[in-house]
Amino acid sequence: MDSIILCAGKGERLKPLTENRPKPMIPIAGKPILQHIIEKVEDLVDNIYIVVKYKKEKIIDYFKDYPKVKFLEQGKIDGTGQAVLTAKDYVDNEFLVINGDIIFEDDLRGFLKYKYAIAVKEVENPENFGVVVLDEENNIVEIQEKPKNPKSNLINAGIYKFDRKIFDLIEKTKISKRGEREITDAIKQLIKEEKVKGIKLEGYWNDVGRPWDVLEANKHLLSKINRDIKGKIEENVVIKGNVVIEENAIIKANSVIEGPAIIKKGAVVGPLAYIRPYTVLMENTFVGNSSEVKASIIMKNTKIPHLSYVGDSIIGENCNFGCNTITANLRFDDKPVKVNIKGKRVESVRKLGIIMGDNVKTGIQVSFMPGVKVGSNCWIGASCLIDRDIESNTFVYKKDELIFKKLNW
């Protein structure tokens, strides 16, 4: 038994988080989405074929020492069908196929006993997904693509059990005008020819399509962690709840940490800092004096040294926050925060801060409005109120119109 994990895609909707990494490398609960998936399958299979393309070096570099992992590069033709086909010359007769960008909780052991199976998940908004219709024995009888009037509230959850027959079916599907070959077309044929079991996922499932999905999945996974404190804890530090503090992390004096939270190797917190629930501080991050981080993912090497507040946000790698950088995460009217996703203004959730790429520096006293996206490699000048998205590689600043008067003492 082998497995194929599909990691070639770009993750447009998650920009700027995907500017420097493919979506499966976005860290959730302290590790890349892909690592969560590998941990789900590594005990079940002999080989894990990861199909890469966009920013492939990030994946290869991270997972190259994993014993069962092998990398396959998808060619010119895009799409999930083509991705699966990439593994044709390598995989065993039977294999699992998993989308590389989903967070899910169910054990996959149940899939192995079927020749053909597809995970399905009950959702409230099936019209945005591939809808799956089951018969009484849970065999799939129909697949609808983002239907206006879905025939069920079960959707294709991106986990499959196939045998090599799928390769033949994929090869028979057409390549779309956009140069893509999707797995769905082959599956539509498969359910005509074979019994394909629909396996309902019972646990948490999230396809992490938009930035707030990342935070939501992060929240879910953190709610399952156990307390495990290995780093150095200085005087008068108060740690409540389930907090993971890895080796070589330091919590400096008089800080307060409320779990669930994960603080990775080399991270420094405090003194006098405040880490709130559902926060992940990745490797070598720094959150210093009087700073507060809440329900956010701070990627590695990013520094938030003093008097800053980051809430419900995702901050990329190697960022540096000037003193007193503040994110807002709530509208006055309490409506869902709006975010630009692929050029459209979309309602997200009630509390959302900012989404920031890598290598951004902010000056002192910068304010960010809720839902703002900041591209990579930006400089945000001191005292700016940032109320719109900032493109990558932008220097934005302001000049105060100052009034000068002579004081005659």
Q: Which residues are catalytic?
A: 306
Residue 21 neighbours by CB under 8 Å, 6+ apart: 55, 58
CA 343 – CA 115 distance, rounded (Å): 42
The answer to whether the beta carbons of residues 131 and 75 sit under 8 Å apart is no
Number of residues that bind its own copies (CB under 8 A): 59
Q: Which of 23, 252, 264, 373 binds its own copies (CB under 8 A)?
A: 252
Q: How many other CB atoms sit within 10 Å of the CB of residue 192?
A: 10
CA 159 – CA 166 distance, rounded (Å): 14
Smallest separation, CB 393 to its own copies (Å): 5
Smallest separation, CB 302 to its own copies (Å): 16
Q: Is 406 a binder of its own copies (CB under 8 A)?
A: yes
CA 271 – CA 292 distance, rounded (Å): 11
Q: Could you say which residues in the range 47-76 bind its own copies, by CB under 8 A?
A: none
Instruction: Build a one-symbol-per-residue string for 307-346: x at contacts with its own copies by CB under 8 A, - elsewhere.
Output: x-x------------xxx-xxx---x--------------
111 vs 309, beta carbon nearer its own copies: 309
CA 127 – CA 352 distance, rounded (Å): 25
Q: Is 394 a binder of its own copies (CB under 8 A)?
A: yes
Q: Which of 88, 105, 364, 389 binds its own copies (CB under 8 A)?
A: 364
Q: Is 290 a binder of its own copies (CB under 8 A)?
A: yes
User: Tokens in use for 304?
Assistant: 């938030």
47 vs 320, beta carbon nearer its own copies: 320
Q: Measure Cα distances from 390 to 10, 13, 371, 394 in Å.
A: 20, 16, 12, 7
Smallest separation, CB 256 to its own copies (Å): 4
Q: Measure Cα distances from 198 to 10, 24, 94 in Å.
A: 28, 25, 17
Q: Is 306 a binder of its own copies (CB under 8 A)?
A: yes
Q: Is 227 a binder of its own copies (CB under 8 A)?
A: no
Residue 322 neighbours by CB under 8 Å, 6+ apart: 361, 362, 363, 364, 365, 366, 382
Q: Which of 289, 336, 346, 349 binds its own copies (CB under 8 A)?
A: 289
The answer to whether the beta carbons of residues 87 and 51 sit under 8 Å apart is yes
Smallest separation, CB 271 to its own copies (Å): 4
Instruction: Note the residues at the interface with its own copies (CB under 8 A).
Output: 234-236, 238, 240, 252-256, 271-272, 274, 289-290, 292, 306-307, 309, 322-324, 326-328, 332, 361, 363-365, 367, 369, 377-379, 381-387, 393-409
